[in-house]
Amino acid sequence: MTSQGSAHGRFTRAIKTRNLFVAELAMRELGTLSLLDALDYLTLLADVKPEKLERAAIRWHARLEIEARTLTLGESQLALAALASLCAGERDAVPILRALVRRTRPTLLPRAG
């Protein structure tokens, strides 16, 4: 660990300070993010670089499909609708997606730190 802290700590700080470049560097170092951390990244993309958002949202949904332990068809449709809303500029979709991730209990848990 460097004097700047762990990669996850740098990622978290970059999200809070809205620094996309540092967030992406930390993501590369981490290799994998939890779905909740990846949702934070989507939210940052929506604000800073929306032209990258749709592809990232599609990848996020694919991970949800694979990692969720209890995802129903209706929940999958809800996730897609919320992601489409996020891509259209609706930030109210983020709490819906957070709740959905928590409810579906993905296999990759958030990192501590």
- Domain annotation covers residue 113: no
Closest CA to 66 of 23, 112, 106: 106
DSSP tag of 107: S
Contact in structure between 33 and 76 (CB atoms under 8 Å) = no
Q: Are residues 70 and 100 in the same domain?
A: yes
Question: How confident is the model over 75-98, as pLDDT tens digits?
Answer: 999 999 999 999 999 999 999 999
Q: Are residues 46 and 2 in the same domain?
A: no
Q: Are residues 27 and 38 in the same domain?
A: no
The total number of structural domains that make up the chain:
2
- Domain annotation covers residue 93: yes
Q: Are residues 68 and 88 in the same domain?
A: yes
Question: How confident is the model over 101-110, as pLDDT tens digits?
Answer: 999 988 765 5
Residue 3's domain spans which residues? 1-31
The pTM assigned to this predicted structure is 0.86
- Domain annotation covers residue 109: no
Q: Are residues 98 and 47 in the same domain?
A: yes
